[in-house]
């Protein structure tokens, strides 16, 4: 797998993002600095270095602001590469895996098909909320087929490939991560 980084778009001054993410730092009292996370950008063009990856670095930036230890990988579109990418992230110890891209209806948009075999349980409510929140910004969000679920002791989230969709998606997911991981570790409701 290739590894690529691009310069992220700086939205740290956006008060909405600061508020949403600041509230997440201490969710469930977890020390995020010890929680490994993986961001996987799924894009043929970014993998071939024909287009800069902006959504993956933005996801990394937002998760690092939360204190997570985050890796970034860029892989080509396709179910097999997504399955392998998620499995590699899990084998490396990631407790949070965020994919960006490949959730639409184009022929090579097969991120959900590559994610589903890795999941032990789906969390459809979060995927529905991601689409609902996205649709409040663009009608095209309803075309996302992204999944959210559990793979072993990790949370896996498919987000669309745009930087804006990643920001909006992480704003929905970030407040839930601590509670989900606590529950996976046997915490009480």
Q: Which residues 6+ apart lie within 8 Å of 14 measured at CB? A: none
| Three-class SS of 84-140 | HHHHHHHHCCCCEEEEECCCCCCCCCCHHHHHHHHCCEECHHHHHHHHHHHHCCCHH
Spans in the chain with pLDDT lower than 70: 1-33, 189
In this prediction, residue 30 carries a pLDDT of 54
Distance from the Cα of residue 120 to its chain's centroid: 17
- 96-100: strand order across its sheet: 69-75, 36-42, 96-100, 154-159, 148-151, 121-122
Q: What is the pLDDT of residue 89?
A: 98
Which residues, in sequence order, are bridge partners of residue 150? Answer: 121, 155
Q: Within 10 A of 19 (CB to CB), how many other CB atoms are there?
A: 10
Tell me what pLDDT residue 33 has.
65
pLDDT of residue 187: 85
For residue 188, the model assigns a pLDDT of: 75
Count other Cβ atoms within 10 Å, centred on residue 35: 20
Neighbours of 106 (CB within 10 A): 10
Please state the domain extents for the chain: 33-184
Contact (CB, 8 A) for 42 and 58? no
pTM of the model: 0.85
Name the DSSP class of 4. Answer: -
The class of domain 33-184 in CATH terms is alpha beta
């Amino acid at each position: 797998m290739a590894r690529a980084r691009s310069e992220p778009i700086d939205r740290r001054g956006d008060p909405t993002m600061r508020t949403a993410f600041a509230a997440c730092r201490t969710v469930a009292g977890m020390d995020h600095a010890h929680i490994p996370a993986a961001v996987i950008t799924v894009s043929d063009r970014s993998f071939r270095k024909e287009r800069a990856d902006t959504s993956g670095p933005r996801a990394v930036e937002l998760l690092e602001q939360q204190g997570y230890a985050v890796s970034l990988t860029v892989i080509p579109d396709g179910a097999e590469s997504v399955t392998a990418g998620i499995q590699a992230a899990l084998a490396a110890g990631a407790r949070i895996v965020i994919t960006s891209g490949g959730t639409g209806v184009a022929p090579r948009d097969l991120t959900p098909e590559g994610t589903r075999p890795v999941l032990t349980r789906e969390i459809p409510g979060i995927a529905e909320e991601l689409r609902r929140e996205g649709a409040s910004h663009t009608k095209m969000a309803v075309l996302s087929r992204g999944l959210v679920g559990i793979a072993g002791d990790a949370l896996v989230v498919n987000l669309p490939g745009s930087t804006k969709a990643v920001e909006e998606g992480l704003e929905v997911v970030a407040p839930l991560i601590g509670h989900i991981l606590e529950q996976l570790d046997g915490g009480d409701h």
